[in-house]
Structure 1
């Protein structure tokens, strides 16, 4: 029997504490907040990460400012039994600063993750995320400091290098430093925005074969059917989804009878999901940032908003610190219009409602359903 005071590591932690998760909601800035985590768990998510938290600002913040905005412990909701298993993600470049911040949230999560994957310009200016990958000694120090001083495990999410060899060497270094789970995002640091492109599952497979800790695969999960393909191709222990989850929070849920022609997964009316999310927001004591709500509304209802331009404009104009009721009005109107379109399509064979994008070859589902989104290539990158 392991000692009650011994920190569980690697697969022992993965199985005993996390429950061998297979479906993981990614850490997303301003988007994997408590309300969204609750919605995602309803539809099959086994594990969720918090949004990325800036360790420098968190360590110097007060409970009424940065700390409470990013992870509120006042209402007993974030990090509660209903919000577990949960991994808190920090970004930063100062080992002691990150440790100080991690110590604050140590009782409210199951592990602390270090963001080594953010490719945005703000991460470059702050020297964190994917821009730490040029300083392996510092990364080792950050992970090892947390590994030695936290009672819970430290994990790491990172992007790949141009070569398999350097990617594998990097992953082995993270494991040596003390990372107990590695999430491999199969894209380069330069792959972002309209240049996102495809994730390299072969590199994820190489990482999985090279390390002895659990590996989560991140990238290229658009449909439920992609999950098994990814697990088979990479050998990973779980798949992590970011944008796929944002555009369809039922991504991890299996199909229900009658929707087989769409995909093996579950695609529900996006207005219904938007209403469900807003109801969660209203029920929580913990405040959801207005920017997070707006982001979810635009992503969830994207197929409908592309047609209902007046509703898109109304969404864009909503402001204020407590905008939920205004969002509800717009979403309820969207639901009326989408229900109308569904009724008009009654009797049409399901296969007649699904088209294929000529550029990407992906399925385009009826516009009233939640579905994946892929960024069009900018002209200069087309071949």
Structure 2
């Protein structure tokens, strides 16, 4: 509910007109809040990007990203206000509509509102996960011809030759890559380096510029995707490791195993699993599509869950791998949605609220309010009021302690003066 701005921003580094530009990308659904956040970032970047392309469920719940693409009036107001208040250009990233004409009108509306660079992801907001499919360069080409501002393409970029082909077919000014670049950070150099070399370079950066360990782990799961299919034990170690030094150790072990495999490699041996390169080389990961029939029983184009292995009685359940693991740990566990407990929603954002929260909010919203009002929420373990009162009490006690010391020093000084005076009188 209300306005939302993703202050944990995504950073896009784009090569535009042969110059490096740093864009700070925000998700937002309120013009005023969007501009307030952008004002904090404008002195540290070359442009502010409004992300209208996120198709994830969190974007749907928060009402931002690609789920604003039908609200043209709101988007116009956001971009117009940003152009009025900010000193840097405004750019947008969008997803397409199924209809090319509507996509073109959408892009023209954003251009008219003041968008100065447009990145077009050639998939609809429904095309994600197993339903991602192939991005439509035809949509991107139509947008490129219809607007006068620079257009960047996004989608189907797995290697440098894809970049060149995309520019040739669509006529765009630049190309972005997401998953392709995560699996091979040297994509735009046209190289396919060894996975542990890229990991070493990345970990050096992390040591210099620390970040949460979950971010590091997520990057390495992408970078090592194919190798971790071979060495499942290292996958488990990466998932469990708690320190950056531990991750460095996992990378060292991965390197040793791959080097041993390379040393024992037979002449003429080819990559397995249909990969273009051996698993220890950075390369694209092609996301598998959903099954059209068979065990999942789904129709073409409808997302289906991966089935459990057939049991002895020939019955199977349709569960994801994650749920299969939970089922193995607890055979009595049920995934029936109707049996799930219903949680009351936060008064502020709609997420589940804390059962013992004094403000009837989720932890995030409760923390903001408790901090603003200097209040306590025992239910969430937030003690801003208590800590503030302790701080005042400590400061008061320090003043009490210091006062007698000053008095005592004053008494000593008076006493010393009296002695000196007596000594002077005697000498006289």
Same fold (TM over 0.5): yes
2:92 alignment partner in structure 1: 156
State the Cα RMSD in Å.
2.1
Cα shift readout 1:73-118 (whole Å, capped 9, x = no counterpart): xxxxxxxxxx952100001110010000000011000000001010
Q: In 2, Cα distance between the equivalents of 1:109 and 1:184?
A: 21
Q: How does 1:180-195 map to 2 (within 5 A)?
A: 180-195=116-131
Gaps of 5+ in 1: 1-53, 59-68, 73-82, 254-264, 358-362
Cα shift readout 1:285-334 (whole Å, capped 9, x = no counterpart): xx312111010111101111101011001011123xxx210100001000
Structure with more relative contact order (C-alpha pairs < 8 Å, separation 6 or more): 1
SS in 2 for 1:114: strand
Q: How does 1:1-383 map to 2 (within 5 A)?
A: 56=5, 58=7, 85-253=21-189, 265-284=190-209, 287-319=210-242, 323-345=243-265, 347-348=267-268, 353-354=270-271, 357=274, 363-379=275-291, 380=298
SS in 1 for 2:149: coil
Q: In 1, Cα distance between the equivalents of 2:64 and 2:31?
A: 12
Larger Rg over CA atoms: 2
SS in 2 for 1:85: strand
Asked if structure 2 preserves the Cα contact closer than 8 Å seen for 1:55 and 1:90, the reply is no
Asked if structure 1 preserves the Cα contact closer than 8 Å seen for 2:6 and 2:26, the reply is no
SS in 1 for 2:50: strand
TM-score (norm 2): 0.64
Asked if structure 2 preserves the Cα contact closer than 8 Å seen for 1:155 and 1:182, the reply is yes
Gaps of 5+ in 2: 12-18, 292-297, 302-428
Asked if structure 1 preserves the Cα contact closer than 8 Å seen for 2:144 and 2:151, the reply is yes
2:357 alignment partner in structure 1: none
* Structure 1 position 55, deviation (Å): 5.3
Asked if structure 2 preserves the Cα contact closer than 8 Å seen for 1:342 and 1:368, the reply is no
Q: In 1, Cα distance between the equivalents of 2:252 and 2:179?
A: 24
Asked if structure 2 preserves the Cα contact closer than 8 Å seen for 1:246 and 1:299, the reply is yes
Q: In 2, Cα distance between the equivalents of 1:90 and 1:157?
A: 10
SS in 2 for 1:345: coil
More helix by share: 2
SS in 2 for 1:316: helix
2:322 alignment partner in structure 1: none
* Structure 1 position 344, deviation (Å): 2.6
Q: In 1, Cα distance between the equivalents of 2:31 and 2:236?
A: 44
2:308 alignment partner in structure 1: none
The number of equivalent residue pairs is: 286
